[in-house]
């Protein structure tokens, strides 16, 4: 592993080991006075399960405190969660044990050391995982997932949304202008808002994929670099690797810019939670969401 990337993942491991209990509480948050991004991402995966003809086995990569794995197990589906933070895994195991969820299993370790090929998964999910690995490792993960899934299996990914940098009107916006990427991002945002079918995005040339960074503007998680992608970047990368993207959905929609959100948080929470109920079928909301979910199938 490149030493520059190992620094990022060392910070990531340190952060999640320290904040495991708080993360577990956040995952279960149900108050209207918040936007529960963890739950929104998990709900998307559960919706994919509902749409599939059959799901017998799911692998959740970067499972955290195991809420998705336990939710899947409650539906009578075997589910395995992998995470490299022992504190996270312990909370997940305790939760499964306390609720007698025998179909939920957890493994502490890196997905790159895990035997992903032997089981034959119907779904592999990775919510909030890609931002903590390099582009090189992301390519490796996509190869692993392709080998680990059954034919017709589903890969569900959650990503920070690079398109939102244009509309946040803050330091992230200034960074894109300085890097000369703002025009490409705007072109993709226009294409997504106006496309009638995801296949139309195959003809879009997205902004260049992210290179290595030493640091970036922080957003509340004490890790120097958390990578971002646009939907178009991931669609093209997945297609190169042998996947077909079948659905996108915005996550954590921002009606107001982050600066105003800090002044009037309840306004943001109310509007964001309201609009999330329209997110599954309305990609017009994509440029204004700080994250997104993507569903691809092995073809």
Give this prediction's pTM.
0.93
User: Where are the chain's structural domains?
Assistant: 3-298
> Would you say 162 and 209 are in contact if contact means Cβ atoms under 8 Å apart?
no
Q: How far apart are CA 56 and CA 120, in angstroms?
A: 10
Number of helices (H), then strands (E), in the chain:
12, 7
Q: Which CATH number does 3-298 carry?
A: 3.40.50.150
- Give the dihedral sign, CA 62/152/160/95: negative
β-strand pairing of 57-61 with 121-126: parallel
- Edge to edge, what strands does the sheet with 121-126 contain? 104-108, 78-83, 57-61, 121-126, 149-160, 289-298, 243-253
- Report whether 146 contacts 161 (CB < 8 A): no
User: What string of pLDDT tens digits covers the 299 residues of the chain?
Assistant: 444 446 888 988 888 888 888 888 888 765 556 899 999 999 999 999 999 999 999 999 999 999 999 999 999 999 999 999 999 999 999 999 999 999 999 999 999 999 998 889 999 999 989 999 999 999 999 999 999 999 999 999 999 999 999 999 999 999 999 999 999 999 999 999 999 899 888 888 888 888 877 777 777 788 888 999 999 999 999 999 999 999 999 999 998 899 999 999 999 999 999 999 999 999 999 999 999 999 999 98
């Amino acid at each position: 592993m490149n030493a520059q990337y190992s620094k990022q993942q060392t910070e990531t491991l340190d952060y999640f080991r320290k904040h495991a209990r708080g993360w577990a509480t956040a995952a279960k948050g149900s108050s209207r006075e918040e936007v529960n991004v963890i739950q929104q991402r998990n709900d998307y995966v559960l919706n994919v399960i509902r749409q599939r003809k059959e799901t017998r086995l799911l692998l959740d990569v970067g499972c955290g405190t195991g809420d998705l794995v336990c939710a899947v197990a409650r539906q009578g589906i075997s589910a395995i969660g992998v995470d490299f933070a022992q504190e996270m895994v312990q909370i997940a195991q305790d939760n499964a044990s306390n609720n007698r969820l025998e179909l939920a299993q957890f493994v502490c370790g890196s997905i790159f050391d895990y035997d992903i090929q032997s089981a034959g998964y119907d779904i592999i999910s990775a919510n909030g995982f890609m931002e903590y690995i390099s582009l090189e490792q992301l390519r490796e993960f996509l190869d692993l997932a392709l080998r680990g899934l059954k034919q017709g299996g589903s890969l569900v990914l959650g990503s920070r949304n690079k398109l939102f940098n244009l509309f946040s009107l803050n330091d992230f916006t200034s960074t894109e202008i300085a890097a000369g990427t703002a025009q490409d991002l705007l072109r993709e945002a226009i294409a997504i808002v106006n496309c009638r079918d995801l296949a139309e995005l195959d003809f879009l040339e997205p902004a260049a994929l992210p290179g290595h960074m030493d640091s970036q503007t922080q957003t509340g998680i004490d890790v120097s670099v958390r990578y971002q992608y646009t939907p178009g970047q991931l669609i093209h990368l997945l297609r190169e690797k042998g996947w077909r993207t079948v659905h996108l959905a915005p996550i954590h929609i921002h009606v107001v810019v982050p600066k105003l959100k800090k002044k009037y948080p309840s306004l943001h929470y109310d509007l964001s939670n309201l609009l999330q109920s329209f997110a599954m079928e309305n990609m017009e909301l994509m440029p204004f969401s700080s994250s997104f979910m993507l569903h691809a199938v092995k073809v």
